[in-house]
Amino acid sequence: MSVRIRMQRRGSKKRPFYAVVAADAQMPRDGRFLEKLGIFNPVKETDRISLNMDRINHWLGVGAVPSDTVARLIKQVQASA
């Protein structure tokens, strides 16, 4: 089983927000996931990204691969910390 850290779309039509989740790479985008790791809300002006970095580092340590977008979000959070 290969694990990916990726975004799962939530919210209503034209008002999206995304949950950052650890999921099996074979599962659909909005399907079953292993653990919720944070939230990204592109609509908000402030506090757009909220990530649990302890759990993200755990998943990266056991071999999970982040998507390109999630990797960019992780870098943003690390730069602001």
Note the pLDDT tens digit of each residue in 3-40. 999 999 999 999 999 999 999 999 999 899 999 999 99
The CATH number of 3-80 is 3.30.1320.10
Note the pLDDT tens digit of each residue in 31-58. 999 999 999 999 988 889 999 999 999 9
On whether the CB atoms of residues 20 and 7 are closer than 8 A, the answer is: yes
| Domain regions of the chain by residue span | 3-80
Question: What is the CA angle 64-30-5, rounded to 5?
Answer: 15
CA distances in angstroms from 5 to 30, 44, 70, listed in the order given: 13, 22, 7
